[in-house]
């Protein structure tokens, strides 16, 4: 996993970027751990599947969706900061 750690100027302008990066790491680790422990979640759901496996499948998918949402938010915040910095007089 390759990430861009926000520089101090970005964290000053948008402090939420720091904790959201930690949340992104946590979601990635959780999804990877679920995939490692429950290899069967790589395949399709099947009737009679244990509840734990079904829950692991849903949770791993939710972690992936959360990471997608966090990346999109970060992209939008950084684009806004770039636009705002373009208007700086110095």
**Average pLDDT over every residue of 60-85:** 94
Residue 9 lies in a domain: no
Alpha carbon of residue 45 to chain centroid: 24
Range of the domain at 43: 15-85
13-55 pLDDT per residue, tens: 999 999 999 999 999 999 999 999 999 898 887 788 999 999 9
Residues contacting 68, CB < 8 A, separation 6+: none
**pLDDT band of 89, cuts 50, 70, 90:** low
pTM of the predicted structure, to 2 decimals: 0.84
Residue 1 lies in a domain: no
Domains: count for the chain: 1
């Amino acid at each position: 996993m390759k990430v861009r750690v926000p520089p101090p100027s970005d964290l000053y302008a948008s402090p939420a970027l720091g904790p959201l990066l930690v949340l992104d790491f946590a979601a990635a680790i959780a999804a990877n751990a679920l995939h490692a422990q429950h290899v069967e979640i790589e395949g399709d759901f099947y009737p009679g599947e244990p509840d734990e496996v079904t829950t692991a499948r849903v949770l791993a998918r939710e972690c992936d969706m959360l990471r997608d949402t966090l990346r999109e938010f970060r992209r939008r915040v950084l684009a806004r900061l770039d636009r705002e910095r373009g208007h700086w007089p110095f």
